[in-house]
Structure 1
Amino acid sequence: MSQSLKQLWKHSSSLIILGKSAEATKISNFNYKVLVLERPSKASYPGALVFPGGVAEQSDQVEDWLKFYRKFGIDDTKFTSIFKKCSNRSFIFNHDSSNIINRDISLRITAIRETFEELGVLICKNKEQLNDSSLFSNLSNNFDVAFWQKQVYKDASNFLKLCEELNVVPDLWSLHEWSVWLTPTFKRQKRFETVFYLVGVKEQPNIQVTNDEVQRSLWLTPKELLDYNKSGENWLPPPQLYESSRLNNEPNIDKIVPFARERGMNAPTTLIFPMHYHTKDGIIHCYPGDDFYPKNPNYMATEHDLEQYAEKTCDECRKMAENLHRIELKSLQNVQIWQNVKLPDNHLSPQTTPESKL
């Protein structure tokens, strides 16, 4: 990434954790639930349900991590197995002078570290487990979780010390690249480019919330997540709403995790960079492939007129377009996803408003 772009937003990683759930099968056709956390009232996005994650730290990128992994017999071939094989990738994966280790490694470490810091869930493997070919990750919690959460919260470099203490490594190989989102340009003061990884676990681990960034944690099916948003009990920011809608189309964890692994290695990941338009009755978020989406979007500044459809309703704007890939927000609870275009990266489509299906 060029220095000019790098200064415009921060890099972050997030985990979409799917846990097998016998309970879910009793009340729905899902056999898994998704782990989310609620943002507290004094934080940004109060009351929002989000996936765990946070900003990349320099300590996630130090060469000491490679040295530590090699003590477990992990060589370059093992690392290469998680390096994406396609060339069409987003800015966040670009190497620059500050990236000491490959971004496919360091961004996964970020996601695992932040998830542990926020929820006490440590996705890791010991030396023996590294030979396990299971699609599902391992967890460790037989240690003083609260103590180490505080240590990592105070200093991110303590995450490596924790792994050394437990003699485990962050499980990079169970994290599958799912999507990349970039905050719109009109949010100038706080922009993030975030890679979302999907990981499956065989059981729902114990959660331990300790810092001020988390109100509570919840295990919910994708449908329950969408219902929480619709009812107003909580709300989902657009990335969480969109990704939950994707998951809502696949209720079987034994299908979605293999799909994520295969797609994550071989298919390009299209950067989801929303284009916003104000309407008479709401806001439209347009995504790649929509007729309202520019062919060459400017990632650095807002070039399009946010108010050009201010005198039209969302319905009127929709009728102006043949190709749809958008979210219409009339309120936090009154949200519709419209998509009738083929997604460019062989991904799952979100659950859409019925009239917009292909």
Structure 2
Amino acid sequence: MNNALKHWKEAATLILAAGQRVGADGLLSRTSLTGTGTGGPGSGSGSHLPHWSRFDYDVLLLKRSSKSGFMPNAYVFPGGMLDSSDFSSEWLDVFKSVTNSADFGLRPVRQPPESRPQIFSTDRRQLGSPVPGDAALRICALRETFEESGVLLVLSEEEARQAGEDGFKDEMGRGLCRAHQLCSDELAKWRALVNRDPSNFIRMCKQLQLLPNIWALHEWANWLTPAGRPGARFDTAFFMCCLQEVPDASQDEKEIVRFQWSRPSEILQSYRARQLLIPRPQFYELSRMCCFPSLSDLHSFAYERATEGCEHLLPVISKVERHTALLPGDKHYPLHISRQTEADNRTDFELNDTPNGALHRIVMSDPYTPTLQITITPKYNHLLPLIEPASSQDSKSKL
């Protein structure tokens, strides 16, 4: 962990996409945010987002407790803060079959070091960690996903050894990865232990001869909590992972009170219908995912794009226009913004100026009615979110 950070705590999160499971009756088995399974809110309302039925995969969302100190009642991707155990030297023994590979066999990123987000560019070895930073961030995302949802993404030692011999090609030559299926009692026992002490994740992997499947996680984004929010702020690495089918999941009844597997467009339609609350990063990334109704296409894009790197996305809130969050590339985004020493990075811009110029912003008329205004070209071969016309947004917000 980087204890030198003054205003952010480092975290990792996992966008988990999974193909719908087909039951014995030949029907898809899934959970719907609306509880009907026959259509999402806003169906037939003229939305330009892909209709939810076009998607052949679901995304895992977890509802945070109302007592949570960060984003209470919001639906989020699984994830959480980095722990010192994620950098423990004991992982060298767990990964002994692949430690002869640079960075545990993870692919190098082409993004120039000077433009890399700090959470990825920090030299963890200089901070005393024997584990490469890219590996520790993925270990954290997998551990937190297991703690919060019970989904365990691991490989046996034999699978990892074979993958290392094959050069970790295309998610270890296996295509889309899968969740490991322990018996329910064994899974519950270890989940409780890991929730009690994150270092038990290492102990579990050692005893069961498993490796966290860090190679199935692809670098996707980096979001930072903007200034002005009460409580903790987070510098979070986002990873994308695609599974062949939806695994079993359950809430932890502590931080998480509910889980849902639903299609990206269905989630956004439910959000606009005020049936659930999602934070800005979830809204932005789900809108990006709407560009790919096909799980195979999403997986291919995420895998190929990941070695390009990503931009750090620190929203800057206007002191004048408090409902507007600027993102990098916007004409009013500060040219020099500190992630280390300034507790309050905000700007005094007003929106009554000329409409010409680059736009990259999220405008929130209320917590359930966001509007994306984007005219920039994304960096690092990434996607722009699929934007819904304002008229369609307005019609759904009244449902």
Could you tell me the TM-score, scaled by structure 2's length?
Answer: 0.80
Q: Per-residue displacement from partner, 1:27-59 (whole Å, max 9, x unpaired)?
A: 611111100101121113222110000001011
Partner of 1:215: helix, strand, or coil? strand
**2:316–2:345: 8 Å Cα contact kept in structure 1?**
no
Q: d(CA) in 2 for partners of 1:18 and 1:90? A: 24
Select the structure with the greater relative contact order (CA < 8 A; seq sep ≥ 6).
Answer: 2
1:345 Cα shift?
1.9
User: Which residue of structure 2 aligns with residue 178 of structure 1?
Assistant: 220
User: Which residue of structure 2 aligns with residue 138 of structure 1?
Assistant: 178
Tell which deviates more after alignment, 33-42 or 138-147: 138-147
User: Which residue of structure 1 aligns with residue 316 of structure 2?
Assistant: 275
User: Which residue of structure 2 aligns with residue 200 of structure 1?
Assistant: 242
**1:146–1:208: 8 Å Cα contact kept in structure 2?**
no
1:268 Cα shift?
2.7
Tell which deviates more after alignment, 76-85 or 52-61: 76-85
Partner of 2:270: helix, strand, or coil? helix
Q: d(CA) in 1 for partners of 2:128 and 2:213? A: 23
User: Which residue of structure 2 aligns with residue 19 of structure 1?
Assistant: 18
1:161 Cα shift?
1.1
Q: d(CA) in 2 for partners of 1:78 and 1:128? A: 19
Partner of 2:362: helix, strand, or coil? strand
Q: Match for 2:328: what amino acid?
A: P
1:139 Cα shift?
1.4
**1:292–1:321: 8 Å Cα contact kept in structure 2?**
no
Q: Which runs of 5+ in 1 are unaligned?
A: none
Partner of 1:269: helix, strand, or coil? coil
Q: Per-residue displacement from partner, 1:249-277 (whole Å, max 9, x unpaired)?
A: 11111111121111111x13110011112
Partner of 1:291: helix, strand, or coil? coil
Q: Find the partner of 2:89 among 44, 56, 63.
A: 63
Q: Find the partner of 2:270 among 228, 248, 257.
A: 228
> What is the correspondence of 1:206-217 to structure 2 with a 5 Å cutoff?
206-217=248-259
Inter-CA distance 242–303: structure 2 relative to 1 (3 Å threshold):
closer
1:353 Cα shift?
4.2
Tell which deviates more after alignment, 285-294 or 344-353: 344-353
Q: Find the partner of 2:325 among 260, 285, 292.
A: 285
1:194 Cα shift?
0.3
1:243 Cα shift?
0.3
User: Which residue of structure 2 aligns with residue 34 of structure 1?
Assistant: 59
**1:135–1:200: 8 Å Cα contact kept in structure 2?**
no
User: Which residue of structure 1 aligns with residue 384 of structure 2?
Assistant: 349
Q: Per-residue displacement from partner, 1:53-84 (whole Å, max 9, x unpaired)?
A: 000101110121122111x4552257243342
Q: Are 1:116 and 2:118 counterparts?
A: no
Q: d(CA) in 1 for partners of 2:129 and 2:228? A: 28
**2:316–2:347: 8 Å Cα contact kept in structure 1?**
no
Q: Match for 1:12: what amino acid?
A: A
Partner of 1:122: helix, strand, or coil? coil
Q: d(CA) in 1 for partners of 2:237 and 2:148? A: 17
1:351 Cα shift?
1.4
User: Which residue of structure 2 aligns with residue 46 of structure 1?
Assistant: 72
**2:334–2:347: 8 Å Cα contact kept in structure 1?**
no
Q: Find the partner of 1:339 among 374, 382, 392.
A: 374
Q: Match for 2:316: what amino acid?
A: M
Calculate the aligned-residue CA RMSD, in Å: 2.3
Partner of 1:296: helix, strand, or coil? coil
Q: d(CA) in 2 for partners of 1:253 and 1:120? A: 22
